[in-house]
Amino acid sequence: MLSKKLLASVLSITLLGAIFTGCGAKTTTEESNEIKIGAILPLTGDIATFGQSAKNALEILAEEYNKEGILDGKKITFVYEDDENKPANSATVAQKLINNDKVVALVGSIASSCSLSVGPIAADAKIPMITPTSTNPKVTTEGGEYVFRACFIDPFQGTVLAKFSSEDLGAKKAAVLYDVANDYSVGLAEYFKKSFEEAGGEVVAFETYNTGDADFNAQLTNIKATSPDVLLLPDYYNTVGLIAKQARSLGIDAALLGGDGWDSPDLFAVGGDAINNGYFSNHYSPDDDSKEVVDFIAAYNAAYNETPDALAALSYDAGKILIEAIISAGSTDADAIKDALAATDGTFVSGSITYDADRNPIKGAVIIKTEDGKQVFEKKVNP
Ligand code: PHE
């Protein structure tokens, strides 16, 4: 039997404990009823459709998880910051999200140059980061162990384009026109060149410009003189549209080739008919009949009355990979999330994902043809 004294002290300790736990629990609930995730996106600027699609997708995702909440009913809030596709801005808003908003992780940015500027900041703060779309290999290798992505990388994308143009289009001579100040553009240009030459083709022109340039006539005149079978334009839709118009008006009728940066509802709005007779590699096709794609298209359509592009698909996937990692970590501890991210193994809208040692998913690509002012599914390419 317990003595009265012992009983009294047991009781008081229990009571004290209850008071402390009570207070503690209250503060914890107040502070962490919400799980904040930073989202760094180009919501305005030259690639604004990318940021808008990404934000649309993340909102659908948050709504889906917030019906029940995660980790005992906590709600997910994406805190959005606009980097306008300017790497210096990406760094500033990353600091703000980490230091002021105290986000537990970051989704973003979109362009490789922007994600390259966020990676080291996330790494220093030990905040897990996942970019939906940045395909340049350096994003994760330079960013380090806290930086992941939801997309394939450009050595793969360059190879897919080179093989497709030599094997499927029978191209022997390729010209390339790329932006020297854009990591994505430089990388894709170089990986394509290497693979195209390995496939027995010849790169007859390798011309450059700078971000923001609007007159490409000098480079295109040089390119025209080499009569290429294909012309690779590894840039984003706005610049690609401009270049395509100038190329066609100089009489270049070669098939145009591009990468994922072409995927925008504004591609034809900027480039018009000049974009026809083109092919670009991409991350997903709305024509895919997998359950993940069908469900995602239905949800996106219901919310926004439009078909989601690859930006939306990858952003949805990136957010989902991250939230699932938080759930399987059972906590918002950065290292636990990072380890759970590395152990990802699931099927998403853009395909099945597991990570290699550099935190890159291995996954397939699709080729889209631009024809009669529309994007048409051409083929699927596995790694
Ligand atoms: N891959 C591009 C980059 O790294 C970004 C992008 C992805 C743009 C997908 C459009 C669609 O900069």
Do 18 and 69 have their domain in common? no
Do 192 and 275 have their domain in common? yes
Domain annotation covers residue 382: no
Domain annotation covers residue 371: no
- Is 131 a pocket residue for ligand 1 (Cβ < 6 Å)? no
Count of domains in the chain? 3
Domain annotation covers residue 13: yes
Q: Residues 107, 40: contact at Cβ < 8 Å?
A: yes
- Is 50 a pocket residue for ligand 1 (Cβ < 6 Å)? yes
pLDDT of residue 6 exceeding 80, the answer is no
pLDDT of residue 199: 96
Q: Which one of 109, 135, 157 would you pick to mutate in the ligand 1 pocket, going by the greatest count of ligand atoms within 8 A of its CB?
A: 135
Do 177 and 267 have their domain in common? yes
Percentage of the chain modeled with pLDDT above 90: 90
Q: How far, in Å, is the centroid of ligand 1 from the Cα of 5?
A: 71
pLDDT in tens, 188-230: 999 999 999 999 999 999 999 999 999 999 999 999 999 999 9
Q: How far, in Å, is the centroid of ligand 1 from the Cα of 112?
A: 7
The confidence band for 187, taking pLDDT boundaries of 50, 70 and 90, is: very high
Do 259 and 188 have their domain in common? yes
Type and span of the H or E element at 154 = helix 154-163
Do 267 and 230 have their domain in common? yes
> Model pTM greater than 0.75?
yes
pLDDT in tens, 151-163: 999 999 999 999 9
Distance CA 299, CA 61 (A): 10
Domain span including residue 214: 155-282
pLDDT of residue 18: 43
Do 50 and 69 have their domain in common? yes
Q: How far, in Å, is the centroid of ligand 1 from the Cα of 118?
A: 15
Atom 8 of ligand 1, residue of closest alpha carbon: 261
Q: How far, in Å, is the centroid of ligand 1 from the Cα of 188?
A: 11
